[in-house]
Amino acid sequence: MKRITSVGLVAVFVTLFAAHAAWAANNPTVGWDTGQPVAAAGQVSGSGTYTLPNPNNAGWQPNGVVVLSAFPTGGGQTFTQGGKVPANGTWAKVTIMNLPTGQYTVFATIQFKNTNGDTTNIATPTAIVNVP
């Protein structure tokens, strides 16, 4: 049985980091504003930002509305709500109303389209919120 050395692990992490950096440089990214998403009585809301890839944006642009999704962590009905079309690197607040009390996994997605007609859906990191 071979031992994994710290040098070997560092090499693996550097390779993975470089691969992610190359992917991010060619694909849009979507994120939350600071402190987002937010839960309140019977609802969850969020807003955020997006970045376009470099160089020259690779032709990517938002291609539709932001969709906010909330999945009960214990299982059950999924809730979604569409928002406005994102612009200028930001997406406006989207709110899902009438949520039962409980814990939810929440994320937002934006569809992007490039000049070749290719589309891709990019999501924020997931967040766990407790709806009172």
Q: Which CATH number is 112's domain given?
A: 2.60.40.10
Output the CA–CA distances (angstroms, integers) from residue 94 to 33, 68, 80, 89, in the order listed: 12, 7, 10, 16
Question: Which two structure tokens, joined as six digits, stand for 81?
Answer: 């709500």
112 lies in some domain: yes
53-62, 79-88, 111-120: the lowest-pLDDT one: 53-62
47 lies in some domain: yes
Express each pLDDT in 5-59 by its tens digit. Answer: 433 333 333 333 333 344 445 789 999 999 999 999 999 999 999 998 865 666 8
82 lies in some domain: yes
Element (H, E) at 16: helix 6-26
Instruction: Kindly state the average pLDDT of the residues 86-113.
Output: 96
41 lies in some domain: yes
79 lies in some domain: yes
Closest listed residue to residue 86, CA positions, set 63, 108, 70: 63
Domain count, the chain: 1
Tokens 């839960």 correspond to 39
Write out the residue range of the structural domain in which residue 38 sits: 6-131
1 lies in some domain: no
In the chain, pLDDT over 90 holds for what percent of residues?
67
Q: Are 95 and 81 in contact (CB under 8 A)?
A: yes
Does the bond joining 86 to the residue before it have cis omega, within 30 degrees of 0? Answer: no
pLDDT band at 68 (very low <50, low <70, confident <90, very high): very high
